[in-house]
């Protein structure tokens, strides 16, 4: 196994790239644009060219490279094939096979939320743990399940799709997935705002929050400022997440939960609200699971992708 | 690796034992009593003596034996140690180490519900699948999660404790675990009866069911006989199980769900009720998971235990 590897995180706008030593040290980190036009056919050739240019720049031989790990925003199977990735313009694509042919380097692939979880387990908030669940509270709610150091990708690539755990029959609107009552609809950045508006509906409420303009950050700022209504929203947010994570614990019983994404920037206060309800709902054997905030931010994906090609 | 192995399933009353060829053929199957008195100190020596006697009887050398797999009714860690197993009388016990010393054979251990799941995946209802979830609807609700042929045992031995998934805030009584709203309380044999009584409370209901004497079997017989109230109970049972399994699917996305235990003797009708709600609640990517009834019955444990010592 070579001493170097690449971690690639393909997003809808930019591709994040990292050159790593296999002990996890980042040697270089850069971005290239994601060219989604023409069915995204330039994306993999662009990545390959950038990898090969970086090797030349650094004077590293291909023989010294363990491989390239790549995270993509959609389901990807064990063979590194995606059925369809809408926001990259891709239809069916043999991602790792193609990238391997373009670079002459071994390639492994994973879903972006899953590799971010692997990154946090390897060098982030959960380093030193073998089993953990990461929850990304961003535009949506993403997740990744890591057991004994391996991603649980799932039969249909839906392992860790915890944003679609059903948490409440009474949520009256639909999720993007077509179901009703999904965690994502009340716990993502947009979801928290939707939750707050729903809780305001038809009521006279005293709050510093302004229904038309409030953001998830506004809600957490209001909680910190002592706003009683915002605190009620935070309780409900905590209840939904605590319940979902308790039910995940009764399934895979992880050592640690890592909470990341934009919403988590509100800080440890969100862990307090989640843990309060986690402890209420979880099986007693799982009550001592740790809760930590993600630390790698937008770099979690390149770390986790790199880890895909590093054997322990 | 030898051509033979033993699968042992330790219960509170009897120890089920099987001598297998490593291709899964059962050569012999028998039981010995579980002597739980004196802190259960005779249990492992009794098992060891029975294993050694069987080898002598069959004329098999120890060198021809791959090992002994043992399932125990409680949490057991990767080192084969149990903290405490109330219904065997055991306190802290190094189960596999002790059995290994007593027999001179390699031993591996697992929780009984988990090894039953492994048994059904290996030679039972889910043979040929790599990832599956087994639900045992018996006195309680047990479970086992198998991913890529391996048991997800969990950090605290609580992997697959799906009887303690929280399904309803409104269930007014406590579960044995101390929480309220656990699946086990409304979906086990006793739980289905409790559910039916709860749904009868304070209402005038036309039904052939008799509240004081009804069993889970009576309820399913009444469903089959066209009793409208029993059908309502079945719908609620299906809703709770369908919801819990949908949320498990968003976590580990298995190929197949295996439903076993006494309640499952009612037949495929229970699958129909579960699937109806599973499809409603599950993430669309997981909608095609298979649902099958367990086929190994009480032998699932010895099959799964045997599989613990067989490498693919």
User: Could you read off the pLDDT of A283-306 as tens digits, one per residue?
Assistant: 999 999 999 999 999 999 999 999
Cα nearest neighbour of A83 on chain B: B285
Mutate to test the interface with A, among B128, B141, B182, B247 (most CBs of A within 10 A): B247
Kindly determine whether residue B156 and residue A251, on different chains, have CB atoms separated by under 8 Å.
no
Q: 10 Å Cβ neighbour count for A208?
A: 13
Q: What is the dihedral of CA A36, A41, A42, A43, to 10 degrees?
A: 60
Residue of chain B whose Cα is closest to the Cα of A130: B155
| Interchain contact, B250 vs A164, CB within 8 Å | yes
The span from the CA of A141 to the CA of A148, in Å, is 23
How close B180 gets to chain A, by Cα (Å)?
Answer: 8
Mode of pairing for the β-strands spanning B4-10 and B14-21: antiparallel
**pLDDT tens per residue across span B224-282:** 999 999 999 999 999 999 999 999 999 999 999 999 999 999 999 999 999 999 999 99
- Mean pLDDT value across residues B20-38: 96
Mutation target vs B (from A171, A247, A277, A278; most B CBs, 10 A cutoff): A247
- Interface residues of A toward B, Cβ cutoff 8 Å, are 75, 131, 145, 147, 152-162, 164-166, 177-179, 181, 243-244, 246-255, 280-281, 283-286, 288-289
Nearest to B154 among A152, A153, A252 (CB): A252
Give the model's confidence band at A312: pLDDT under 50 very low, under 70 low, under 90 confident, else very high: low
Partner residue opposite B158 with nearest CB, options A75, A147, A285? A285
Contacts of B165 in chain A (CB under 8 A): 247, 250-251
Question: Residue B135: which pLDDT band, with cuts at 50, 70 and 90?
Answer: very high
Answer whether residue A219 shows pLDDT above 70: yes
What is the rounded distance in angstroms from the CA atom of residue A62 to the CA atom of residue A3? Answer: 10
Q: Which residues neighbour A57 within 8 Å (Cβ) at sequence distance 6 or greater?
A: none
How far apart, in whole angstroms, are the C-alpha atoms of residue A299 and residue A7?
10
Percent of chain A at pLDDT > 90 equals: 94
Which residue does chain B place closest to A242, by CA atoms? Answer: B166
Comparing C-alpha atoms, which of B127, B161, B158, B119 is closest to residue B308? B119
Residues of chain B found within 8 Å of residue A158, distances taken between Cβ atoms: 249-250, 253, 283, 285-286
Asked if A234 and A186 touch (Cβ cutoff 8 Å), the reply is no
Q: Which pLDDT score, from 0 to 100, does residue B311 have?
A: 78
Residue A246's nearest CA partner among B153, B83, B283, B251 is B251
pLDDT, position B207: 97
Residue B312, pLDDT > 70, answer no
* Each residue's pLDDT tens digit, A26-61: 999 999 999 999 999 999 999 999 999 999 999 999
Q: What is the mean pLDDT of residues B148-171?
A: 95
Q: Beta strands A141-147 and A256-260: pairing type?
A: unpaired
List CB contacts (< 8 A) between A165 and chain B: 247, 250-251
pLDDT at residue A75 is higher than 90? no
For the beta carbon of residue B206, count every other beta carbon within 10 angstroms. 7
Average pLDDT of the segment spanning A83-111 = 94
Integer CA distances (angstroms), A21 to A62, A151, A311, in order: 14, 21, 13
Q: Residue A206 CB: number of other CB atoms within 10 A?
A: 7
What does the pLDDT read at residue A290?
Answer: 98
Helix (H) or strand (E) holding B25: none
Beta strands in chain A (DSSP E): 4-10, 14-21, 26-33, 65-72, 81-82, 93-94, 107-111, 132-137, 141-147, 150-151, 256-260, 290-293
CA distances from A75 to A109, A297, B282 (A): 10, 22, 16
3-state secondary structure of A30: strand
For A59-71, what is each residue's pLDDT tens digit? 999 999 999 999 9
Nearest by CB: A156 against B145, B166, B285: B285
Q: Work out the pLDDT band at A127, boundaries 50, 70, 90.
A: very high
How confident is residue B79, by pLDDT bands cut at 50, 70 and 90? confident
Please check the confidence at residue A266 and state whether its pLDDT lies above 80: yes
Please report, for residues A19, A283, A311, B270, the alpha-carbon distance to residue A28 in angstroms, rounded to integers and kept in the order given.
5, 44, 21, 57
ipTM score assigned to the predicted complex: 0.94
Q: Which residues of B touch A (CB under 8 A)?
A: 75, 131, 145, 147, 152-162, 164-166, 177-179, 181, 243-244, 246-255, 280-281, 283-286, 288-289
Report which DSSP code applies to B139.
Answer: S
Q: Is the model's pLDDT at B1 over the cut of 80?
A: no
From CA A18, how far away is CA A306, in angstroms rounded? 8
pTM of the model: 0.95
Backbone Cα Rg of chain A:
20
State the pLDDT confidence band at A74, using cuts at 50, 70 and 90: confident
Chain A residues in contact with B253 by the CB 8 A cut-off are 152-159, 161
Q: Residue B173 in 3-state DSSP?
A: coil
Of A179, A182, A175, A160, give the one whose Cα is nearest residue A71: A160
Judged against a pLDDT cut of 90, whether residue A87 lies above it is answered with: no
The partner residue sitting opposite B155, judged by closest CB among A145, A165, A255, is A255
Q: What is the pLDDT of residue B178?
A: 94
Report d(CA A119, CA A127) in Å as an integer.
9
Put simply, the answer to whether B158 touches A255 (Cβ < 8 Å) is no
The beta-carbon neighbor of A147 closest among B152, B165, B286 is B152
Q: For an interface test with A, give the residue of B153, B157, B253 to mutate (most A CBs within 10 A).
A: B253
H-helix or E-strand containing B300?
A: helix B300-308
Give chain B positions within 8 Å (CB) of A131: 154-155
B81, B95 Cβ separation under 8 angstroms: yes
Residue A252 to residue B252, Cβ atoms within 8 A? yes
Task: Name the residue among A252, A290, A255 with its Cα closest to residue A274.
Answer: A290
Chain B nearest CA to A15, separation (Å): 26
b (16+ CB within 10 A) / e for A140-172: bbbbbbbbeeebbbbbbbbbbbbbbbbbbeebe
Q: What pLDDT score does B10 carry?
A: 96
Could you read off the pLDDT of B31-65 as tens digits, one per residue?
A: 999 999 999 999 999 999 999 999 999 999 999 99
Residue B113 has pLDDT above 90, yes or no: yes
Task: Supply the pLDDT for residue A104.
Answer: 97
């Amino acid at each position: 196994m070579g001493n170097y590897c690449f971690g690639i995180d393909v997003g809808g706008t930019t591709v994040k790239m990292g050159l790593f030593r296999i002990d996890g040290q980042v040697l270089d980190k850069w971005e290239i644009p994601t060219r989604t036009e023409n069915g995204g056919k330039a994306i993999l050739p662009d990545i390959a060219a950038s990898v090969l240019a970086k090797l030349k720049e650094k004077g590293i031989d291909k023989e010294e490279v363990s491989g390239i790990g790549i995270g993509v925003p959609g389901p990807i199977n064990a063979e590194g094939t995606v059925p369809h990735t809408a926001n990259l313009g891709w239809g069916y694509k043999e991602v790792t096979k193609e990238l391997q042919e373009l670079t002459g380097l071994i390639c492994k692939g994973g879903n972006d939320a899953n590799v971010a979880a692997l990154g946090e387990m390897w060098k982030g908030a959960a380093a030193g743990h073998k089993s953990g669940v990461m929850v990304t509270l961003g535009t949506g709610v993403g997740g990744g399940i890591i057991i004994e150091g391996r991603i649980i990708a799932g039969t249909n690539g839906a392992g860790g799709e915890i944003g679609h755990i059903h948490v409440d029959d009474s949520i009256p609107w639909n999720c993007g997935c077509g179901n009703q009552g999904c965690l994502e609809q009340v716990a993502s950045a947009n979801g928290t705002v939707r939750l707050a508006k729903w809780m305001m509906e038809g009521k006279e409420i005293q709050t510093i929050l302004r229904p038309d303009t409030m953001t998830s950050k506004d809600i957490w700022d209001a909680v910190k400022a002592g706003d009683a209504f915002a605190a009620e929203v935070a309780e409900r947010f905590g209840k939904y997440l605590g319940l979902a994570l308790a039910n995940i614990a009764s399934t895979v019983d992880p050592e640690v939960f890592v909470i990341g994404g934009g919403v988590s920037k509100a800080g440890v206060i969100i862990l307090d609200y989640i843990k309060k309800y986690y402890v209420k709902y979880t099986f007693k054997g799982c009550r001592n699971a740790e809760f930590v905030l993600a630390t790698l931010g937008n770099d979690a994906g390149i770390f986790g992708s790199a880890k895909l090609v590093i054997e322990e």
